[in-house]
DNA sequence: TATTGTTATACTCTATAACTATA
DNA sequence: TATAGTTATAGAGTATAACAATA
């Protein structure tokens, strides 16, 4: 791939997207650590609060090796936020599911995780629709 | 902060931004590892390729503790991509600077790091300007 | 044989605290 | 005293490979 020089406008948009990504991650980590969770733990807890799932599926969602999930769920389980249940349909499978306390933590986390909600408040509904359409096209 | 329920449009935009963040990070890590670098190493190398700087300043840019930078620069130095130079003005300071090979690696990395360039190719200049303005307002 | 989850291993990133050499 | 960089330490995330239980 030859290095085509992008125009200044494109470069600025690329940089702005990088800024959004940076801020998003900072606020995500901060929100997680305010609940004594790491970013990875918060992501798994959020995932499970939507729907209990096998360890392997968590790894697929997070795009990492299944062996990593063992440790992350171990730590959430030690904290009493998640539990492992047998899968009646397949005894090899363990279903990870949030406890009642885990669901509450996930809810409180989600409230502080809607980073974009505040900045979007400054945009009109029409502008938000434009932003939505542009982002959709960016993501293909 | 009470949990106000956001409208569907806002929620979709929030989710789309999350998708952009996810894809950005995946492509960043992939581009870095294609050069046998970790994400943190790639970020430091890119930073230094713009301008040599003291170890402490790298930590400020990356928003991490200075002690972490020692190891990251160590690994880049072992690879021959970065070198430590004395600061004539203050003998406590070590300036981290890219080697010739480090600059070349940074250049090749940058070519594959302009993630947004390709997706933006589908947007007209006018649409890019709209996106730029919306992102600017999001970032305050 | 193939799949699920785990264990063992090794590396990297991260923060904290203590150390050194300068200022 | 204060600052720059390092070292030591510990915890967490990650990938790879090998393993037991089950399909």
Average pLDDT, chain A: 92
Protein A58 CA to nucleic acid D14 C1', in Å? 15
Report how far apart, in Å, the C-alpha atoms of A20 and of each of A13, A16, A25, B111, B113 are: 10, 6, 9, 20, 16
Closest CA to B139 of A123, A137, A111: A123
Q: Model confidence over B33-72: pLDDT tens digits?
A: 999 999 999 999 999 999 999 999 999 999 999 999 999 9
B36 Cβ nearer than 7 Å to chain C strand: no
CB contact under 8 A, A134 and B131: yes
**pLDDT at A63 (0 to 100):** 94
A94-98 vs B94-98, strand pairing mode: unpaired
* CA closest to B136 among chain A residues: A16
How many CB atoms within 10 Å of residue A94? 17
Residue nearest the C1' of D7 (CA based): B67
Tokens 């789309």 correspond to what residue?
B16
DSSP tag of B84: E
CB B88 within 8 A of CB B127: no
CB contact under 8 A, A135 and B16: yes
How many angstroms separate the first and last alpha carbons of chain B? 21
Protein B92 CA to nucleic acid C23 C1', in Å? 8
Segment A41-57 shows an average pLDDT of 98
A69 Cβ nearer than 7 Å to chain C strand: yes
Phi, psi values for residue A116, rounded to 5°: -75, -15
A94-98 vs A82-86, strand pairing mode: antiparallel
CB B1 within 8 A of CB A111: yes
Residue B138 in contact with partner chain A when CB distance is under 8 A: yes
Residue B126 in contact with partner chain A when CB distance is under 8 A: no
Q: Model confidence over A105-135: pLDDT tens digits?
A: 999 999 887 776 788 888 999 999 999 999 9
**pLDDT at A5 (0 to 100):** 61
H/E stretch holding A19 reads helix A8-33
Q: Model confidence over B89-104: pLDDT tens digits?
A: 999 999 999 999 999 9
Rounded to whole angstroms, the Cα distance separating B55 from B92 reads 11
Question: What is A23-115's CATH number?
Answer: 1.10.10.10
- The yes-or-no verdict on residue A104 having pLDDT over 80 is yes
Q: Please check whether the domain covering B31-138 is classified as CATH 3.30.1490.20.
A: no
Rounded to whole angstroms, the Cα distance separating B13 from A78 reads 35
| Domain map (residue ranges) of chain A | 23-115
- The answer for residues whose C-beta is within 8 angstroms of residue A97's C-beta and 6 or more apart is A48, A52, A82, A83, A84, A85
CB-contacted nucleotides of strand C (7 Å): 3-8, 12-18, 21-23
pLDDT top residue among B2 and A94:
A94
Q: Give the closest of A117, A138, A139 to B10, CB-based.
A: A117
Residue A115 in contact with partner chain B when CB distance is under 8 A: yes
Average pLDDT, chain B: 92
**pLDDT at A111 (0 to 100):** 87
**pLDDT at B118 (0 to 100):** 80
Segment A46-50 shows an average pLDDT of 97
Buried b (16+ CB within 10 A) or exposed e, B79-88: bebbbeeeee
- The yes-or-no verdict on residue A77 having pLDDT over 60 is yes
């Amino acid at each position: 791939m030859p290095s085509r020089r992008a125009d200044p406008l494109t470069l600025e948009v690329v940089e702005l997207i990088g800024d959004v990504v940076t801020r998003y991650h900072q606020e995500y980590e901060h929100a997680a650590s305010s609940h004594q969770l790491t970013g990875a733990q918060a992501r798994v807890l959020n995932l499970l609060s939507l729907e209990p799932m096998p360890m392997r599926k968590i790894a697929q969602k997070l795009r990492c090796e299944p062996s990593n999930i063992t440790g992350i769920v171990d730590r959430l389980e030690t904290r009493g936020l998640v539990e492992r249940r047998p899968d009646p349909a397949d005894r090899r499978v363990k279903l990870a599911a949030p406890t009642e306390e885990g669901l509450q933590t996930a809810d409180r986390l989600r409230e502080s995780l809607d980073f974009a909600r505040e900045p979007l408040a400054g945009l009109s509904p029409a502008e938000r629709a434009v932003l939505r359409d542009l982002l959709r096209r960016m993501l293909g």
